[in-house]
Amino acid sequence: MDPLLAGASPHSRGVALIGSGSAQAAQVISNNQLGLRVDTSDEWIQSRTGISTRRVSSPDQRLSDLAADAGRSALAMAGWSPKSLDLVLLATSTPDDLFGTAPAVQAALGATNAVAFDLTAACSGFLFSLVTAAQFLRTGSMRRALVIGADQLSRFVDWDDRRSCVLFGDGAGAVAIEAADEDGLLGFLLRSDGSRGGVLNLPALDSNEVLAADARHRQGGYRPIEMNGQEVYKFAIREVPAVLQCLLERCAVGAESLDWLLLHQANQRILDAVADRFAIPRPKVLSNLAHYGNTSAATIPLVLDEAVRDGRVRSGHLLASSGFGAGLSWGAALFRWQGPA
Ligand code: ACO
């Protein structure tokens, strides 16, 4: 059967988030280890970011390995067979293959009936992908989707630049979502502003090579991550509260009704500033920055999966989530977790 029609109900207008999974990169790198390479200290990094260790993939660990492991574990929690999937959507800025890595993940999972493609929106990628996948489910054209956020920024960090190398790590997280009559995705807002994009980039190489006698070309490749940390920080603490406020108002939900604040994990100071803006007590703010740093598109599903598995996030809980990062891109979503009780 055409996978776009398989099992789809024309009456499904909502989505349920019912399974999560995550996968870790092989190596743990401490602040002190970085201090042996660049002029930094555990004290500086912890006090400015909240990060104490991050995970970095080993050279033989591909992005598709991390993504497939996270996906498998989300499928197991949802109790789904891979063949029942209609969509595998991979949020990443660091594919194994620029032509797309989602099909390799689809094959590794055995999700033979699913269409698979990548979506790039840096640290907003998971949130943008969740919302994108939900549109297919809401129209009734698909029934089951696996949304994976996975990144290996370690491949593009300048490990000699102390201003950025202390921030990033690798990882993957995934969420299984299904068409449902009762809508678990209460609302969302997505934003982009390319005019401010110059503060955080992973830019293509500027090369100018001879192609033929009268022709030249630009050879592919990328420079390391370039970041104006202070501008990114200002952007985050201005735009994240604003987009969350707008979403909560549209959904007529007060911040006091939230069970959890689920933000992109970039810096503990950003999490604290957003929580304070809404008077959300710290225990309700999900954070695993200390152990992972910023894993870009992976942070939101990774920290969600940890909290689901240790029993903090339970079925029926209401979460406000916001992703933000390069592009510039940012957004928010309000959803109810409906995983196994
Ligand atoms: N160790 C020691 N000193 C450092 C380090 C370091 N790792 N990094 C910078 N410094 C120094 C600077 O050189 C500077 O020294 P100077 O005054 O002698 O010039 C001093 O510390 C202060 O630097 P600031 O940049 O002002 O430090 P700040 O308090 O702003 O913290 C940080 C920097 C942590 C990067 C912060 O700006 C931040 O978190 N910004 C957000 C970054 C972010 O989240 N990026 C990812 C976005 S998501 C995505 O899409 C990928």
The string of DSSP letters for 171-190 reads EEEEEEEEEESS-SEEEEEE
Active site residue 32: no
Best residue among 94, 230, 328 to mutate for probing ligand 1's pocket (most ligand atoms within 8 Å of CB) is 230
The answer to whether 162 and 44 have CB atoms below 8 angstroms apart is no
Ligand 1: centre distance to CA 228 (Å): 8
Q: Is residue 277 part of a domain?
A: yes
Per-residue pLDDT tens over the stretch 38-97: 999 999 999 999 999 999 999 999 999 999 999 999 999 999 999 999 999 999 999 999
pLDDT at 341: 78
Q: Is residue 239 part of a domain?
A: yes
Residue whose CA lies nearest to ligand 1 atom number 8: 163
Find tokens 């108002």 and name the residue: 249
Q: Is residue 56 part of a domain?
A: yes
The answer to whether 20 and 308 have CB atoms below 8 angstroms apart is yes
Active-site residue, selected from the candidate residues 31, 123, 165, 267:
123
Active site residue 123: yes
Ligand 1: centre distance to CA 230 (Å): 7
Q: Is residue 213 part of a domain?
A: no
Residue whose CA lies nearest to ligand 1 atom number 50: 325
Per-residue pLDDT tens over the stretch 113-134: 999 999 999 999 999 999 999 9
Instruction: Name the token pair of 90.
Output: 């991979």
φ, ψ for residue 84 (rounded to 5)? -85, -5
Q: Is residue 322 part of a domain?
A: yes
The answer to whether 323 and 127 have CB atoms below 8 angstroms apart is yes
pLDDT grade, residue 3 (50/70/90)?
Answer: very low
| C-alpha to C-alpha distance for 333 and 329, rounded to whole angstroms | 14
- What is the rounded end-to-end Cα distance, in angstroms, of the chain? 33
The answer to whether 309 and 74 have CB atoms below 8 angstroms apart is no
Give me the number of domains the chain comprises.
1
The answer to whether 123 and 326 have CB atoms below 8 angstroms apart is yes
φ, ψ for residue 54 (rounded to 5)? -140, 160
The answer to whether 186 and 251 have CB atoms below 8 angstroms apart is yes
Best residue among 32, 40, 48 to mutate for probing ligand 1's pocket (most ligand atoms within 8 Å of CB) is 48
**For residue 116, what is the domain's CATH number?**
3.40.47.10
Amino acid code (one letter) for 268 = Q
The string of DSSP letters for 13-61 reads -EEEEEEEEEEE-SEEEEHHHHHTTSS--HHHHHHHH--SEEEE--TT-
Give the domain extent around 121: 1-207+219-341
Q: Is residue 37 part of a domain?
A: yes
pLDDT grade, residue 314 (50/70/90)?
Answer: very high
Instruction: Name the token pair of 223.
Output: 């420079």
Global pTM value? 0.95
Q: Is residue 288 part of a domain?
A: yes
Instruction: Name the token pair of 89.
Output: 């959507």
Active-site residue, selected from the candidate residues 31, 113, 264, 291:
264
Instruction: Name the token pair of 31.
Output: 């602040």
Q: Is residue 212 part of a domain?
A: no
Of ligand 1's listed atoms, the one at least distance from the Cα of 329 is 50
pLDDT value at 98 more than 80: yes
pLDDT value at 12 more than 70: no
Residues with CB under 6 Å of ligand 1 are 40, 44-45, 48-49, 122-123, 162-163, 166-167, 200, 227, 229-230, 232-233, 266-267, 294, 296, 325-326
